[in-house]
Chains A and B, each alone.
Chain A
Amino acid sequence: MKALHNILDSIRPHFEEGGKLSKFWVVYDSLETFAFTPGHTNKNGVHVRDGVDLKRTMFLVILALVPALLFGTWNQGHQYLLSIGDISLADPWNHMIWDKLLIGAWKVLPLVVVSYGVGLGIEFLFAGMRNHSINEGFLVSGMLIPLIMPIDVPLWMVAVAVAFAVIIAKEVFGGTGMNILNVALTARAFLFFAYPKQLSGEIWIHEVATSKADGLLVDGYTGATALGHLASTVGKPMMDADVTTVMGMFQPGGMFSFSNAFLGLIPGSIGETSALAILIGAALLIWTGIGSWKVMSSFLAGGLVMAFLFNLMGMNAYMTLPPIHQVVMGGFMFGMVFMATDPVSASQTERGKWIYGFLGGFLSIMIRVFNPAYPEGVMMAILFMNVMAPLIDHYVIQGNVSKREKRATLAAELRATA
């Protein structure tokens, strides 16, 4: 690889101060450091350093997202073919697998390209302005954003959302590591509030409106997600015919049965549907120690506890859904594994992580059930907990501080009496 490095070295002068392309130094620098870990040595401190760096860390997170991405791509094609009746629920998963992947990829790839293109473009701009090197943070955000989008979201909307999130949620605070809110969720929240019509309702299956107009749509397919259906039951008596129809879909054999929801064979945002694919990613994150198992497990516990409390109340049909079924639907699993664990916006103390995770899961289910206008309670809950995280940390640290102060006071008294 000496040859490649020689080439990089030979074009380097053009990008350095005074060179023709010195404005693009950031681009050159990020490419060079991408290909070669620089020969920087340790000075004035430790002489040896751990092998891990931020690039490795971020790469492993992206690797953990791959199962959800691949499955999501397949599932979007699967849902489309189901909705127009080309395949049936009983078909084996690999029936027309290439068609499914192709249909999915046709929509998913542009989303990924736009997300990375816009996000990295802004990052380069800010890095150039601030004269520092590119941070790796957006490599993960850029992959998370397409995975929490509905399949047919217009590309320009994604571009606007990414720009908003990167600038307002991250760069104004100082860039990667300084943000208060999770960047990807901010993009989603921006779309949710700025274009509510386009982001709620019945857009979760590819071309569902066109299919309907053409009379191709199979009965029972409205393009709504499981949570959308459930939200429609709130406020109606439990024995209402509409309600029983909806709840029927959640019984074994129904469209949103536990096994379908767990495997991810349901409509929804691209990466969020399959609890199984997400849990494979979670296993990698926990195995490598990059994702906090404390946040994930307490988040799950929080969601299960809230759902169980709802079971006890049982005031409407939505509340009677088993806890284990609640947590495999919607963005709960995806939020738990990939959003709540974002180390920058989560609690930073180990004790705080337990509290942060538990409340995050608890609120996710609460918002989802209490407020049908926000079926995706997970997004709201995590953003809310992002804001609360510094407060949690403050109290955790205050406990440590007052313990130390007490010890010092006691010692001072002892000295005084002696």
Chain B
Amino acid sequence: MSRTIRIRKGANIRLKGRPSSSIVDAPKAAVYAVQPPDFTGVIPKLRVKEGDAVKAGSPLFFSKDNPSVLFTSPTSGVVKSVVRGEKRKILAVLIEANQRGEAESFATLDPKTADRTAILGAMLNSGLFAFVQQRPFAIAADPADHPRSIHISGFNSAPLAPEMSVVLEGRMADFQTGIYALGQLAGKQGVHIGVRSGDRLFADIKGAELTQFEGPHPTGNVGVQIHHAAPLNKGETLWTMHAEDVANLGVLLSQGSYQPTRVVGAGGSEHPKPQHMRTLVGSALSTLVAGHSDTENTRYISGDPLTGTDAGAAGYLGSLHHQVCLLPEGNQPKFLLTDGWLSPGLNKFSLSRSYPTWLMPKSKEFTMDTNSNGEERAFVVTGQYEPVFPFDIYPVQLIKSIMANDIDGMEKLGIYEVAPEDFALCEYACTSKIAVQKVVRDGLDMLKKELG
């Protein structure tokens, strides 16, 4: 019997438009994108140019610092264009799909007998290694590292998140193959899966240590699970991977092809039909919104509403994202008495108790727009981050040490253990509207640079 860890801190943001448990195949996208900014810490070097023909698994670019880490095309077609931003930074490589389903073929491997080098090689060549992240720093993993352990979260807790049982439906054999493979890569502490307590989905999985977790968001964040099950110490490195990518790894090893499947939770109050949709990494978002057309007043989010990116109606599903959310834009001023700061606020969800909505039944869901509901201020209110931050770390003090560029302070206060996403709820709850996740990202980057 695995042990159960009960987490009390955190909060569920009760957004309207949760995906129903039904699942459909999304229409095939005409254009796919692989976006280098999705892979934090990677400086891309192109391997293709406009007009090149590619197959699923053909490399598009590689990482400048780790040339063996390839980023590959999710489908077959031709390179439509390379989108560049300021200073010619590569923002996306667009693939015009030919819908022929051609794929590069990779060797099949039996993960139980294959050695570390072979498995790592297969992951690197196919582009699957790009989906491995590391802690500390919450960046793309370095294949030269020997991680002490590999961690996988077995459930999502973010608002509007897809259900893992739907995501992995019919894929448990592939998932098991992937776990065996990761077992060859992980160090002495092996592979860990954080499971929602009472969930039987992973009960038969071998080759991994299961820990049960109970509690509100962000309990599903792998960082929270690591902190409570096997905390990361200074000088250690570990890897994390999303469960769906573990199943994709299983497919790679057993079938020899790169099939970056995504079952996304498509939802949000503006989504016409919130449900699970099966698609591929990098699909155009337009295929996942069930014909939603009011693009002017709607925010198209790739990822969850707390950590995702504002992709725009013409955007694409981010490589590490598993959700698409449509929320109303909040770009209209709010009059103080009707829906501003002096209003009764019967429709304002708040983790503070300054609006009466906290008295409403827990089942009530709210429509929230993207308005910041106030202006940015210095830190004033205290005791607001701690109740939604399930780490034995002082969040405000850590943030302040980052703002003060105090490298030594950040190290001591535990920055090694956290990722920006772990602070998403703090940012949500912040009365002073501070951009907490960005501060944490800056802090991690600063520390990485300092350590060289």
Contact = CB atoms under 8 A, between A and B. Distances in A.
Interface string B229-241: 0010111100000
Interface residues on B, range: 35 or more
Interface string A284-307: 000111101000000000000000
Contacts of A346: 382
Given A5-B333, A53-B341, A343-B383, A408 B235 contact: yes
A260 B430 CA distance: 42
* Interface-centre pick from B188, B351, B380, B432 (highest chain A CB count, 10 A): B380
A338 to B, nearest CB: 15
Contacts of B355: 51-52, 56
A158 B276 CA distance: 64
A100 to B, nearest CB: 30
B352 A289 contact: yes
A289 B234 CA distance: 36
B341 A59 contact: yes
A220 B252 CA distance: 94
A369 B340 CA distance: 47
B40 interface: no
A39 interface: yes
B333 A54 contact: no
Given A37-B340, A45-B435, A289-B352, A50 B373 contact: yes
A57 B306 CA distance: 23
Given A50-B351, A289-B353, A408-B235, A45 B437 contact: yes
A134 B332 CA distance: 21
B397 A397 contact: yes
Contacts of A5: 333, 335
Nearest to A342: B380
A372 to B, nearest CB: 35
Interface string B360-391: 00000000111111110111111100100000
A210 interface: no
A50 B436 CA distance: 14
B272 interface: no
A142 to B, nearest CB: 16
B327 A343 contact: no
Interface residues on A, range: 35 or more
A44 interface: yes
A135 B236 contact: no
B333 A43 contact: no
B331 interface: yes
B232 to A, nearest CB: 9
B174 interface: no
A37 B305 contact: no
B294 interface: no
B371 A40 contact: yes
A177 B235 CA distance: 36
Contacts of A38: 333, 375
A17 to B, nearest CB: 19
Nearest to B348: A51
B378 A49 contact: no
A312 interface: no
Given A50-B373, A50-B429, A290-B354, A37 B368 contact: no
A213 interface: no
A241 interface: no
* Interface-centre pick from A54, A287, A412, A418 (highest chain B CB count, 10 A): A54
Contact of B372 (A41, A290, A393, A405): A41
Given A57-B381, A177-B378, A52 B335 contact: no
A389 to B, nearest CB: 11
A349 B308 contact: no
Nearest to B377: A54
B128 to A, nearest CB: 28
Given A37-B340, A48-B428, A60-B354, A176 B333 contact: no
Interface string B416-437: 0000000010011111110111
A343 B394 contact: no
A48 B305 contact: yes
Interface in A242-299: 287-290, 292
A14 interface: no
A345 to B, nearest CB: 10
B37 to A, nearest CB: 12
B374 A37 contact: yes
B151 to A, nearest CB: 16
Contacts of B305: 46-48
Interface string A82-97: 0000000000000000
9 contacts: A46-B307, A51-B349, A54-B377, A288-B354, A350-B383, A401-B413, A404-B233, A404-B412, A408-B235
Given A37-B333, A47-B305, A400-B393, 6 more contacts: A41-B370, A43-B310, A137-B380, A177-B377, A290-B381, A405-B412
Closest 8 CB pairs of A and B: A53-B374, A177-B378, A51-B348, A36-B333, A408-B233, A1-B335, A55-B341, A37-B334
